[in-house]
Amino acid sequence: MAVRPVFYPSISGQLFGRTDITIPWHGGFSVTQKQKNVHELHDAARRSGFKNVLEVSSKSETEIGRRLSAFSLILKIENEEIPFECAYQGSKVFQYGGPYQDLYKKTPIEAKKDTRIKTSGRIISFKLFNKSFPISPPNVFYDWIYISILANHESYIRDRLSEFDGFTDIEFNPEKSINCQARAVAITMALIRDNQLQETMSTFDKFERKISQAFGAL
């Protein structure tokens, strides 16, 4: 058995809500096994009241779910195009090194598995090009980059995702992980619903305040 969350745009004035669901777990690393777990989660989510749930990961069976994967998104900044995962990993500043901005030129898999990420001590901040970003709230930099990319395609995101009332990421283990692309999508949809996406994402400080308020209320 395993516990996996379903995230949704909150209707209580907060950015997102979360429902944890216990499901039978199919072990293994193949896409087929991962998708079995997605089916278990979505079936259980429907029994819990969700009508239409989207898996947001490379294991999704829908094109939009795969396109929203952190391995698929592209960050456009300073006339460069950087895979999201590379931008995130390459911006980490550690106790004993970093940022390793050469990772911007790697593939997402190469960036995530780079040995320096595991051997440079704890993360103390982020630095994307010449701008520094904090590590608190723990997810703020990840969500900032992710949602900034989606904000550039607001109409597309609204049109494609408005039918979904829940979002999952089968790879996200709440006991081990902090960042979650499904939660970032739920936050995006809440901001779109409230007509606040562009204003909130206009500066990092505005987004940081919004995120801090949301997590402070949980």
Query: Which pLDDT tens digit goes with each residue over 127-155?
Result: 998 899 999 888 999 999 999 999 999 99
Distance CA 196, CA 4 (A): 29
Tell me the mean pLDDT in the region 87-91.
97
The pLDDT confidence band at residue 212, using thresholds 50, 70 and 90, is confident
State yes or no: pLDDT of 5 exceeds 60: yes
Choose the weakest-confidence range: 12-16, 115-119, 122-126, 164-168: 12-16
pLDDT above 70 covers a percentage of the chain that reads 97
Per-residue model confidence (pLDDT) at position 216: 58
Q: Where are the beta strands (DSSP E) in 24-171?
A: 53-55, 74-77, 80-83, 92-94, 123-128, 131-133, 166-168
Q: Is 13's pLDDT higher than 80?
A: no
Q: At 10, is the pLDDT very low, low, confident or very high (cuts 50, 70, 90)?
A: confident
Per-residue pLDDT tens over the stretch 201-210: 999 999 999 9
As given in the structure block, the two tokens for residue 172 are 């996200």
CB-CB contact of 172 with 9 (8 Å): no
Instruction: Record the pTM.
Output: 0.94
Q: What is the CA 98 to chain-centroid distance, rounded?
A: 22
Rounded Cα–Cα distance for residues 199 and 47 (Å): 36
Hey, what are 185's tokens? 């999508």
| pLDDT score recorded for residue 215 | 66
In the predicted structure, residue 218 carries a pLDDT above the cut 60 = no
Q: Quick one: pLDDT at residue 19?
A: 96
Quick one: tokens of 12? Answer: 């209580």
The residue type found at 80 is: E
What whole-number percentage of the chain has pLDDT above 90?
85
Q: In the numeric block, which tokens belong to residue 104? A: 């911007």
Handedness of CA 202, 129, 75, 212 (dihedral sign): negative
